[in-house]
Structure formats: structure tokens, C-alpha cells
Amino acid sequence: MNAIRQWMASHPGLSSLVLILAVCAAAEVAVWTYRGTLRGRAAAQRRTLARTERLAEEYRALRAETAASGARLESSEGFTLAAVQRAAPEAVRQRLTESNSEAERRDEALIERLISLKLNGVTRRALAEFLLAVESLDPAIRTKTLRLTPNKDEPSLLDASVTFSAYEQVPTTSP
């Protein structure tokens, strides 16, 4: 050890260079390790994206089977929060965390009814069956938005935020 100190004292420029090279080598190892971690995360995200795209394809296929364009609700009694919850299978009802219902006037002749739900930890199949069941309540009901994320506790399950929409005629009042 003493010989190393003597050599460093007699060659200060070269010893500084050796020290800098050692620090650079340690930094390079850290960068390569971090790069490997990022590659692993990217691969996991690609798998999640592929799973989500497959779910979207399954949903589009189910939706195409029951397509009806330009439909309007006959009455709003069939499209309520309670009716949507009744259409949900038990496995989906247990995963329901938030729900909201509102109506927005779109023009002088139409009202858009919106029902928003948040589900945590549902299977792809249960979610697809639920979406189909709700849209089967009335030909005018459509899924307006669907946001999916992998469940944090169980990656094979999904967390979903869904908004259903249907238009109905504004009731006319006679004078």
C-alpha cells in the first residue's frame, strides 16, 4: 500500500488520470445497468400495449355485431344508472368504485345522456361482456369513452373508466 502512495506522489498527473478512469468505469457500469432496467420496463410496456390492443379489437368485434347507427332512445327510463348497474354481471358490480349520471342538451332537439363508471380489477372477458350487455339495453346506447390501465395489484386484471352515451329527443310540450 505504501508503494502505491509513493508512486502516486511521484506521478500526480498520471495518478489523477487513473483515478478519473476508475470513476468513468464505475459510471459506465451504472449507465449500462440502468439501461438494462429501462429495456425491461419498455418490454413490459410493449406487452401491456399489445394486451390492450387485443382487448380493443375484441370489443370492436363485439360492438360490430350489435351496431345500430343513428338510433335514439325511445325513453330515458331504459338508460339509467340503475339499469346499467343491473346489466352488469356480479363480478363487475363488485369492482365498481365510482358512478355518475348526467344529461347534457346538445341542441334544441337532442339531449345526450351520459353514464360514467370506474371499475377496478376486472377481467377482459367480464369487461367485454358488461359493455355488450349495456349496449344491448337499447340500440341507441354506445360506449363513448373507454380508458384501460393494468391493475397495479394484479397485472392480469384491468382498471377501466367507461362512459356510456345515448341521445334522446327533447320532449315537446304542447301549449
In angstroms, rounded to a whole number, what is the distance separating the alpha carbons of residues 112 and 104? 5
The verdict on domain 71-169 having CATH code 3.30.70.60 is yes
By the 10 Å C-beta count (0-12 exposed, 13-18 middle, 19+ buried), 63 is classed as middle
Question: Quick check: 163 and 115 in contact, CB under 8 A?
Answer: yes
Residue 67: the pLDDT is 44
* pLDDT of 174: 53
Rounded to an integer, what is the distance from CA 145 to the centroid of its chain?
Answer: 11
Q: Tens-digit pLDDT profile for the chain (175 aa)? A: 788 788 778 888 888 888 899 899 999 999 999 999 999 999 999 999 999 899 888 887 776 554 434 566 666 566 888 889 888 888 899 999 999 999 888 767 778 889 999 999 999 999 999 999 998 888 888 999 999 999 999 989 999 999 999 888 776 665 5
pLDDT on residue 77? 64
Q: What is the pLDDT of residue 73?
A: 65
d(CA 142, CA 139): 8
Cβ proximity of 62 and 130 under 8 Å: no
Q: Which pLDDT value is given to residue 71?
A: 61
Quote the CA–CA distance of 131 and 62 in Å, as a whole number. 9
Residue 69 has a pLDDT of 41
Domain ranges of the chain: 2-47, 71-169
Residue 95: CB atoms within 10 Å: 23
